[in-house]
């Protein structure tokens, strides 16, 4: 393998692929990146055997070939080089890197030992606006359950129906749902591991174009094409989580006891202030009085002290007092982009809904803390 490549191109690519690599003690080869030189492209491949990424960078190829190099080491080294053209050559599994006055040799491994990335046959596939998809995914991803006790809710649920895509995550205390309109023929749903979803956002979120999603029985491939010519820029391949996603529609309440509309930033500020006083239990109390059009935010802890603040709201329904984990409320509001937020209470000790005003595509359901 021999090629010439611009430092910045290589650096960006390495930064993306190195994120996939985890700490793998049992199989050290996974700490490496596989570099394969094609005619005018250098392909970088990395995997942790759950997610795999392929990323293509334009280069001037002189001789085809492959090399396997520790990815973190290579990445930190390349980022220190001057902004110039780099000459790369593989010799006896080692990598010779030359850039201006730098001349280095990095020890590599046998490319034959690097895992083979499974092919996803292009049987079922669809195209979706990449920016919208990544933006939607990022509104949802953090809600997925961190615990492996219930694997099916540790991932992000994607439900593709004939004209919409629903992206859903829950940790059984709260649930977020994003709806995107798409064109699609076949209905299907998958549970994507949270890590892969994060990789998709990292890799694709700032790029224009359409994302291609290919489905096969236990895995899914996400692919984005290059702007300049018709060749994939990046492919992310992910294992899927087996199991049935719970019937989440059932928990979204339809009838409400109290509805209020609040200015988002103001609400957020009051919550953050109260959160300082909420102590270990993270509990804050909301006291909503629709007739007076005010909401009181209250928190108290024996170690710190207590705080009460009130803010103006638009409201209808009956007065209600509820307690929440402040983190759960703030997480929901942070993912809302509109300036005003609608907050609806179904019943005391029942699920509540946070929604942006003027945007029906996002929904956040949160359970309160028991007060009795």
Partner 1 sequence: MNKIFLLTRWVKFNTVNHCYQFLSMDTKELWQSVLTQIQFDISKANFATWFQNTEIVSIKDDKAIVSVPNAFSKEWLSNKYNKLIAKILHELDDKIRDIEYIIKPQGVKKEPSIEKPNIEQLNFEEFKIDKETNLNPRYSFDGFVVGSFNELAHAAAWAVSENPGLTYNPLFIYGGVGLGKTHLLQAVGNKIALAHKKKKVRYLSSEKFITNIVNAIRNHNIDVFKNTLTQIDVLIIDDVQFLAGKNKTQEEFFHAFNALYEKNKQIILSSDRPPNAIPELEERLRSRFEGGMIADISFPDYETRLVILKNKIQEKRLNLPEDVLDYIASNVKKNIRELEGALNRLLIHSRMNGSLPNLDTAKRLLKSYVFSPFDVANYKKIIESVAKFYNLEEKDLFEVTRKKEIVKPRQIAMFLLRRELKYSFPAIARKFGGKDHTTAIYACRKMGQEFEANNRLTEEINLIKQRIYSG
Interaction of residue 218 with partner 1, rule CB under 8 A: yes
Interaction of residue 304 with partner 1, rule CB under 8 A: no
- Distance (Å) of CA 301 to CA 272, 274, 311, 327: 15, 10, 22, 16
Interaction of residue 118 with partner 1, rule CB under 8 A: yes
Nearer to partner 1, 149 or 229 (CB): 149
Rounded Cα distance, 53 and 279, in Å: 42
Interaction of residue 281 with partner 1, rule CB under 8 A: yes
State the nearest-atom distance from the C-beta of 32 to partner 1, in Å: 14
Nearer to partner 1, 147 or 318 (CB): 147
Q: How far is CA 358 from the centre of its chain?
A: 24
- CB distance 364 to 174 below 8 Å: yes
Which residues is 342 bridged to in the sheet? 261, 355
Q: Which residues make Cβ contacts (< 8 Å) with residue 112, sequence separation at least 6?
A: none
Rounded Cα distance, 31 and 72, in Å: 8
State the nearest-atom distance from the C-beta of 367 to partner 1, in Å: 4
Nearer to partner 1, 22 or 246 (CB): 246
Nearer to partner 1, 9 or 125 (CB): 125
State the nearest-atom distance from the C-beta of 328 to partner 1, in Å: 8
Phi, psi of 138 (to 5 degrees): -70, -20
Interaction of residue 239 with partner 1, rule CB under 8 A: yes
- CB distance 316 to 326 below 8 Å: no
Interaction of residue 241 with partner 1, rule CB under 8 A: yes
Stretch that binds partner 1, among 54-62, 72-80, 124-132, 244-252 (CB under 8 A): 244-252
Rounded Cα distance, 13 and 371, in Å: 51
Q: Which long-range contacts does 156-159 make (Cβ < 8 Å, 24+ apart)?
A: 156/191, 156/192, 156/194, 156/197, 157/189, 157/190, 157/191, 157/192, 157/245, 157/248, 158/189, 158/190, 158/191, 158/192, 159/188, 159/189
Stretch that binds partner 1, among 7-15, 53-61, 113-121, 179-187 (CB under 8 A): 113-121
Number of residues that bind partner 1 (CB under 8 A): 45
Nearer to partner 1, 201 or 367 (CB): 367
Residues that bind partner 1 (CB under 8 A): 26-28, 47, 49, 52, 113, 115-118, 147-151, 153, 170, 172-173, 175, 217-219, 239, 241-244, 246-248, 250-251, 281, 283, 325, 349, 351, 365, 367-370, 372
């Amino acid at each position: 393998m021999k090629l010439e490549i611009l430092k910045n191109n290589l650096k960006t690519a390495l930064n993306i692929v190195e994120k996939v690599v985890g700490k793998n003690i049992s199989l050290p080869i996974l700490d490496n990146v596989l570099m394969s030189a094609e005619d005018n492209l250098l392909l970088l491949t990395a995997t942790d055997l759950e997610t795999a990424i392929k990323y293509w960078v334009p280069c001037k190829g002189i001789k085809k070939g492959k090399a396997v190099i520790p990815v973190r080491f290579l990445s930190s080294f390349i980022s220190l080089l001057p902004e110039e053209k780099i000459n790369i050559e593989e010799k006896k599994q080692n990598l010779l890197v030359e850039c201006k006055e730098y001349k280095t040799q990095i020890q590599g491994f046998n490319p034959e030992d690097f895992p083979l990335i499974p092919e996803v046959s292009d049987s079922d596939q669809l195209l979706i606006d990449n920016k919208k998809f990544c933006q939607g995914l990022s509104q949802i991803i953090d809600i997925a359950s961190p615990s492996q006790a219930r694997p099916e809710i540790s991932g992000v649920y994607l439900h593709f129906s004939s004209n919409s895509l629903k992206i859903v995550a829950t940790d059984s205390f709260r649930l977020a749902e994003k709806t995107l309109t798409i064109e699609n023929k076949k209905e299907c749903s998958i549970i994507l591991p949270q890590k892969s979803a994060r990789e998709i956002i990292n890799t694709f979120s700032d790029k224009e174009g359409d994302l291609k999603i290919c489905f096969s029985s236990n895995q899914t491939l996400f692919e984005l094409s290059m702007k300049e010519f018709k060749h994939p820029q990046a492919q992310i391949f992910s294992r899927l989580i087996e199991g049935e996603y719970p019937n989440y529609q059932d928990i979204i309440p339809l009838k409400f006891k109290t509805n209020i509309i609040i200015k988002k930033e103001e609400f957020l500020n009051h919550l953050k202030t109260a959160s300082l006083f909420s102590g270990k239990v993270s509990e804050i109390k909301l006291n909503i009085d629709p007739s007076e059009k005010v909401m009181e935010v209250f928190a108290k802890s024996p170690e710190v002290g207590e705080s009460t603040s009130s803010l103006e709201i638009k409201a209808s329904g009956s007065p209600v007092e509820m307690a929440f984990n402040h983190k759960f409320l703030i997480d929901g509001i942070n993912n809302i982009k509109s300036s005003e937020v609608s907050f609806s209470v179904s019943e005391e000790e029942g699920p509540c809904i946070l929604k942006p005003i003027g945007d029906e595509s996002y929904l956040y359901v949160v359970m309160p803390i028991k007060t009795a």
